[in-house]
Chains A and B, each alone.
Chain A
Amino acid sequence: MNKIKDKHINQPKFLFKNFLKDRRVYALNQRYWEKELAKHLSEKQILKKNWVNQQFADGTLFYDGNPIFSLLLKKNKAVRIIQEEPESEQPEVGAWVQTTEDLQSNPINELVIALELSDLTKDLVVQLIHDWVKEEVDQTIMEGLITERLERI
């Protein structure tokens, strides 16, 4: 009985569950990320919102959450959030840091977070981004913080 109860308690409650089926929900979901991150970042830190392309050359939008939101930041840093189809009974989130390039071929260190958005994963995204924007946090330090924070989920 307790097991069933515990399992129920630990199951994620998805946010914007129909974001892949309903474009109005998708737009609200994108706005959610923009507002959520704006609470934790100053305008001074952000060079460009949604700097990663989300549409084909003919203007057709991807509408698949890959990515759902991105930021180009000062100090050659960036953030990309991939929101995956909500389908798991356990909290689903992965994260890594990689080096990419901007259009002028400058190296950019990019924090990528891929998740199923739920009550159990939403705060982790904010925590990771909060860590990443700190000037002293480089790729190596961030990899350690990702491991540490993911273990707590």
Chain B
Amino acid sequence: MAKSNDSLEHRGRFQAQGRGVEESESWAQEKPLSVSKGLGLLGKLIGKLKPKDYERRKKPFKKAQAFVVEAGENGGVFAHLGRSFRVKGSKDERVDIEVLGGKAFVKENNDE
């Protein structure tokens, strides 16, 4: 019998990448990551960046935050998920969301 996605380890990461920036915040846990914890990790990632690097990625971060919230409204999202929000006009400056195992961005009442 196939394992359900909920029985897998739930893991993933947020990344700010490109033009010399390489920062990330990851998670790996028994239960799906909640929306609020996802937004918290994105906030921590923003805190790791130099102000100018955050300024350039302000729109991508807003899109990443909006996606986490929208996912919460739609039951979360299963792995493998890869979404990248690029700074327009750049080669590779971006914010990434990756769900590498299990499920993420569930509403609080579904969380631990």
Asked if A pairs with B, the answer is: yes
Interface residues of A (CB under 8 A from B): 51-53, 55-58, 60, 66-67, 70, 80, 82, 84, 88, 92, 94-96, 98, 100-103, 105, 110, 112, 114, 146-147, 150
A56 near B77 with CB under 8 A, answer: yes
B54 on the A face (CB < 8 A): no
What are 24 contact pairs spanning A and B, CB under 8 A? Answer: A51-B80, A53-B77, A53-B81, A56-B71, A56-B74, A57-B75, A57-B78, A58-B74, A58-B75, A60-B74, A67-B82, A82-B84, A84-B86, A92-B89, A94-B90, A94-B91, A94-B94, A95-B92, A96-B17, A101-B80, A103-B101, A105-B100, A105-B101, A112-B82
A10 nearest CB across to chain B (Å): 16
**B101 — which chain A residues lie within 8 A by C-beta?**
101, 103, 105
Q: Which of A56, A58, A95, A146 has the most CB of B within 10 A?
A: A56
Question: For this complex, into which size category does the number of interface residues on chain B fall?
Answer: 20 to 34
A108 nearest CB across to chain B (Å): 9
Which chain B residues (82-110) contact chain A, with CB distance < 8 Å?
82-86, 88-94, 96, 98-101, 103, 106
**A96 — which chain B residues lie within 8 A by C-beta?**
17-18, 91-92, 94
Interface residues of B (CB under 8 A from A): 17-18, 70-71, 74-86, 88-94, 96, 98-101, 103, 106
B86 near A94 with CB under 8 A, answer: yes
**A80 — which chain B residues lie within 8 A by C-beta?**
82, 84
A112 near B84 with CB under 8 A, answer: yes
Q: A82-B84, A102-B80, A105-B101 are in contact. Are A56 and B75 (CB under 8 A)?
A: yes
Q: Which of B71, B80, B94, B103 has the most CB of A within 10 A?
A: B80
**A101 — which chain B residues lie within 8 A by C-beta?**
80, 100-101
In the assembly, what is the distance between CA of A55 and CA of B83, in Å? Answer: 12
